Amino acid sequence: MLSRTADNLYWLARYVERAEYLARILETSMRLTTLPLAYVGSTNEWETAVATAGCRKSFFAHYAEANEENVTEFLAFSIDNPSSIRNCIEVARQNARAVRTALTIETWETINGAWLELKRFGNGPPSRDEFLRFLHWVQETSLRFDGSAYRTMLRNDAYWFSRLGLYIERADNTARILDVKYHMLLPADERVGGPLDYYQWAAILRTVSALTAYHWVYRDNLKPWLVADLLILNEQMPRSLASCYENLVRFCDLIATAYGRQGQAQRQARTIRTRLQNSRMEEIFQAGLHEFITEFIADNSALGAAVNSQYLQ
């Protein structure tokens, strides 16, 4: 397979996943703004949204204030933000178009259909109702992409590279959302698990569509360390870092077996998985969740770099 084709497939999946993540962040933020301030504290949820999306710096280069209008425009529709939902879908479609031959009709039609549909939404939402529909539509697009790839693509390197993109992006997103919320919610002097942050933690879980899962797994009230456990170490949870790395190791190995050669990507994926397997939540909290996550994000992007230099260029 051409390296460029593998590269396009990898980024196609990453951008679709990212678009979904942004839609989830925005939906959660909208929900939080409907709660009385006493329930959520004085945090500016729109600023949190920008930080969670990982584009705080570029946002404040364009806007003075993080309010609903600005953040919505920047994260969803802006052409100036390379990672806005609009640009994610645009770039995903460009990648898809460059590898039409490696995609099934169903997968292509999902992306092309989304791209055509995007034009209908214009440059911004006419109303909150419309906007919410838009966010749901983005999430559905991602589901349909994922589903059509899962159901129709041959299980060969084309599929495996697209899965690598998906899981590396998803692991990055999950790590970021934990980090930002944790950071904003728990300044050094705040008591962990105070009543104030209940809705914030619920919001995190909602963002990754895990609120119900939490209750099934822990049968307990929302507790920060359990939320972190669910999203970091719990292998049942499809968005957790542990689960992402189960998949990353598997797909890296499938590629290595097919090509008859192991490399840095396989080693890096296994190292990270082993570290996750050997971690305990108490130790992570003792050593500092923020430090743990910062290190994970760096390791995760090192895997991306290894995949890139081993296969994609």
Partner 1 sequence: MALAFDEMRGSNGQVRPAYAGLDQWLRDLSPDVLDRRRREAELLFRRIGITFAVYGEAESTERLIPFDVLPRIIAAAEWDKLRAGLEQRVKAINLYIKDVYGRREVLRAGVVPEDLVFQNPVFRPEMNGMSVPHDVYVHIAGIDIVRVDADTFYVLEDNVRTPSGVSYMLENREIMMRLFPELFSRHRVAPVENYPDELLATLTSVAPPCASSDPTVVLLTPGIYNSAYYEHSFLADKLGVELVEGRDVVVRGSFAYMRTTQGLKRIDVIYRRIDDDFLDPLAFRPDSALGIPGLMTVYQAGNLTLANAVGTGIADDKAVYSYMPEIVKFYLGQEPILKNVPTWRCREAEHLSYVLDNLEELVVKEVHGSGGYGMMVGPKSDRATIEAFRAKLKTHPENFIAQPTLALSTCPTLVEEGVAPRHIDLRPFVLTGRDRTRIVPGGLTRVALKNGSLVVNSSQGGGTKDTWVLDA
Give residues in contact with partner 1 (CB under 8 A): 1-6, 94, 97-98, 100-101, 105, 108-109, 112-113, 116, 157, 161, 255, 259, 261, 311-313
> Which residue number, 278 or 313, has a Cβ lying nearer to partner 1?
313
3-state secondary structure (DSSP) of residue 256? helix
> Which residue number, 26 or 164, has a Cβ lying nearer to partner 1?
164
> Which residue number, 148 or 200, has a Cβ lying nearer to partner 1?
148
> Which residue number, 108 or 296, has a Cβ lying nearer to partner 1?
108
Cα gap 166→88, rounded to integer Å: 13
> Which residue number, 94 or 271, has a Cβ lying nearer to partner 1?
94
> Which residue number, 78 or 110, has a Cβ lying nearer to partner 1?
110
- Nearest-approach distance from CB 46 to partner 1, in angstroms: 35
The single-letter code of the amino acid at 174 is T
3-state helix/strand/coil string of 165-204: HHHHHHHHHHHHHHHHHHHHHCCCCCCCCCHHHHHHHHHH
- Nearest-approach distance from CB 4 to partner 1, in angstroms: 5
Q: Is the CA virtual torsion 300, 302, 305, 310 positive or negative?
A: negative
3-state secondary structure (DSSP) of residue 83? coil
> Which residue number, 1 or 196, has a Cβ lying nearer to partner 1?
1
Cβ(222)–Cβ(214) under 8 Å? Answer: yes
- Nearest-approach distance from CB 109 to partner 1, in angstroms: 6
- Nearest-approach distance from CB 77 to partner 1, in angstroms: 20
Cβ(203)–Cβ(223) under 8 Å? Answer: no
Q: Is the CA virtual torsion 66, 69, 72, 73 positive or negative?
A: negative
195 burial level (CB within 10 Å; 0-12, 13-18, 19+): exposed
Q: Which stretches within 80-127 are classed as H helix?
A: 85-98, 105-121
Counting every residue, how long is the chain? Answer: 313
> Which residue number, 72 or 266, has a Cβ lying nearer to partner 1?
266
- Nearest-approach distance from CB 155 to partner 1, in angstroms: 16
- Nearest-approach distance from CB 263 to partner 1, in angstroms: 11
Cβ(240)–Cβ(233) under 8 Å? Answer: yes
Give the residue among 33, 29, 304 at the shortest CA–CA distance from 169.
304
Residue with tokens 């559905």: 140
- Nearest-approach distance from CB 259 to partner 1, in angstroms: 5
- Nearest-approach distance from CB 244 to partner 1, in angstroms: 22
Cα gap 54→51, rounded to integer Å: 5
